[in-house]
Chains A and B, each alone.
Chain A
Amino acid sequence: MHYIPNILFAIVLISGIGFFVKNVKKLARNIKLGRDVDISDNKSQRWKNMTMIALGQSKMVRRPIAGFLHLVVYVGFIIINIEVIEIIIDGLFGTHRVFASIGSLYGVLIGAFEILAVLVFVSVTLFWIRRNIIKLKRFWKSEMTSWPKNDANYILYFEMVLMTLFLVMNATDVHFQDMNSGNIMSQFIAPWFSGLSDTTLHFIERGVWWVHIIGILVFLNYLYYSKHLHILLAFPNTFYGKLQPKGQMDNLEAVTKEVKMMMDPNVDPFAAPAEEAEGDVPAKFGASDVQDLNWVQLLNAYTCTECGRCTSECPANQTGKKLSPRKIMMDTRDRLEEVGKNIDTNKGEFVEDGKQLLDNYITREELWACTSCNACVEACPVSIDPLSIILEMRRYLVMEQSAAPVELNNMMTNIENNGAPWPYNQMDRLNWKNE
């Protein structure tokens, strides 16, 4: 009987973590549905980017208010997790505040956690106010309805509750209060519980303790379903982020091969194409669905925080066009999730569902509104590249479907015939000299 709490705890902990691991595997599988890209270059620069951008939040602080509040929550989150280690040890071995044995340093530590907990609580409340009362424009765009909007608020509530639980837990812990150090903040809450019997207090403390650890496990598992996944994926995502100059768009290798063949006078145009037999020519050019994107783009989609910094900088969006780079990322994730579920229900095989990313999620109107200005890429605090997806989908429209707007077709015909996007003769190129 004595061990029941420990066993119960172990079960809760293992199922919580087990479920999380299961989802992480699914996540990895979904990301691998994307095309392969080789990203083994420039390791040192990549580590540097990850350290600066994900760990050091260098791009977050470009917007000072949001950046500062985020920093508090982020630092708080990481540091308070030390407390979780203690909870786990206590839970498994039936100890109580096992770290207390380190002496006065324990008081300092818990004191610091308590201060952070309050700061996190305040920051999260301010975040909530910005979203729901001040209604910052970027949180109220058309793609931010239903789930995305609720998700953001749920996360905030979760954090408020977890922080409160942590403080109440300390405030009702008679043993801890006895130590008389570290309860810097909880001492102000403790009086709320004065007059209660020791048994009742102990009962509350245990209850809050359990709710707290279960809450953390639930939150951990909530990540997968939420934009909050960015707390984990921001790290790989900034590591694998684009290193080339922003203006450089990748050259499609498959096209290079074909172009070289077309231009090479030594190639027999009637010879059977050798490459296709080897299967290294892709089934199609560009992307109409998530499987046509590369895995970094899919990782990008899962990493998106839906913060909308990209969209608020986007010139197309600012002038009322349908395009929103955030929506591009959200659509990619939604479709990828749908494809993943399809695979799950069909025993590991994707069964054609008559849908795709293009048209069912992202419209052509959105794609054609992009000026390729890279403002979204610059703005994203976690190195996401919405523009690369837009370009990939335009490639599909143009090279597979010949579905460019008429004016662009004219432009392209002009380039083909005259070597200029306008209908002027290449022989007139130097006329300006004598005009």
Chain B
Amino acid sequence: MSELLKVPTMAEFMAQGKQPEVLFWVGCAGSFDDRAKKITKAFVKLLNKANVEFAVLGTEESCTGDPAKRAGNEFLFQMQAVTNIEVLNAYEVKKIVTACPHCFNTIKNEYPELGGSYEVMHHTQFLKTLLDDGRLTIEGGQFKGKRITFHDPCYLGRANNVYEAPRALIQKLEAELVEMKNCRRNGLCCGAGGAQMFKDAEKGDKEVNVERTEQALETKPEIIAAGCPFCNTMMTDGVKAKEKEADVAVMDIAELVANAQDL
């Protein structure tokens, strides 16, 4: 299947003297994490299918600095930011789409003050515009009538008030969207943010991801939808901890849309 993927780089566009419509910021998880790579590919398939002229930075991309900043290392964050901004500005990037809410938040909100101002979209927002503009269509699809619950990523939802785009996509699949007791601005963290992904949790009586998974399972879903590679990992682990992996799948919205089309 992969031979069908078209993934041009910014350097290639530049060599042809062209600008892509949008830069796809893949992010570290999307580039290296085995599970997240599948999300990346699903999204690329959709971009290919919709004939979006996009490009990636490839080896020129680097960590946005989000986990460093939130751990408290402002130096490292700004080094990363300034380096990335130099690359982005050199390519005269205007519009960026990313499947990672952490990259989304950092580039959108924290880069402008350091000299990098771009229009930044989360992939669910971008996919929604593709559907709204008729560049992408969903017909029938395997998720029709399936119970799906959506876990709001903190850095997409509360941090940036994006609640509706992912839900609109789920509804476009004609799936049955069920809400957890904590959703939208009251959503509960998956436990990965603020650099927690990279360390053990402090002592407590439970892991945050287990708590959140329990809330998700209460809705008796067939699928837990996520919009963040880190949430995806946390919820997948949570489902495993509850020994529910045979009944409940954790999938990114991009994967849902791509699978609905049998891409």
Contact = CB atoms under 8 A, between A and B. Distances in A.
Interface of A: 244-249, 251-252, 255-256, 258-260, 262-263, 285-286, 313, 315-316, 318-323, 365, 368-375, 377-378, 391, 393-399, 404-405, 407-408, 410-412, 415-416, 419-422, 424, 426-435
A286 B75 CA distance: 12
Interface in B1-60: 2, 5, 7, 9, 26, 28, 30-33, 37, 40-41, 56, 58-59
A126 B62 CA distance: 56
A429 B31 contact: yes
B110 interface: yes
Contacts of A405: 199
A204 B72 CA distance: 63
A408 B199 contact: yes
B70 A249 contact: yes
30 contacts: A245-B108, A245-B159, A246-B158, A246-B159, A247-B159, A248-B109, A315-B188, A315-B208, A316-B202, A318-B188, A319-B205, A320-B204, A323-B202, A369-B202, A371-B208, A372-B194, A374-B159, A375-B154, A375-B158, A397-B72, A399-B75, A415-B65, A415-B68, A422-B28, A428-B31, A428-B32, A430-B9, A430-B31, A432-B37, A433-B5
Contact of A404 (B71, B74, B159, B186): B71
B74 A415 contact: no
B105 A371 contact: no
B3 to A, nearest CB: 8
Interface residues of B, number: 73
Nearest to A251: B113
Nearest to B104: A247
Q: Which 6 A-B pairs rank lowest in CB-CB distance, beginning with the nearest?
A: A247-B159, A372-B194, A394-B72, A419-B62, A320-B205, A248-B109
Contacts of B79: 259, 262-263, 416
Contact of A371 (B2, B110, B189): B189
Contacts of B211: 315, 318-319
B109 A259 contact: no
Nearest to A419: B62
Interface string B144-174: 0000000000110011110000000000000
B195 A411 contact: yes
Contact of B74 (A248, A262, A393, A399): A399
A435 B160 contact: no
B247 interface: no
A373 B193 contact: yes
Most buried by A among B26, B72, B114: B72
A319 B209 CA distance: 10
Most buried by B among A255, A259, A319, A322: A319
Most buried by B among A377, A395, A405, A429: A429
B207 A319 contact: yes
A394 B191 CA distance: 18
Most buried by A among B63, B65, B80: B63
Given A371-B154, A421-B198, A430 B59 contact: yes
A44 B159 CA distance: 22
B82 interface: yes
Given A259-B78, A374-B159, A394-B72, 11 more contacts: A247-B154, A318-B211, A319-B204, A371-B154, A373-B158, A375-B158, A405-B199, A429-B61, A432-B30, A432-B31, A433-B7
Contacts of A420: 28, 31-32, 62-63
A374 B185 CA distance: 10
B63 A419 contact: yes
Nearest to B3: A434
B130 to A, nearest CB: 21
Given A421-B67, A430-B9, A371 B41 contact: no
A258 B67 contact: no
Contacts of B56: 430
B110 A248 contact: yes
Contacts of B9: 430
Interface in B68-95: 68-76, 78-80, 82-83
B78 A255 contact: yes
B263 interface: no
Nearest to B36: A432
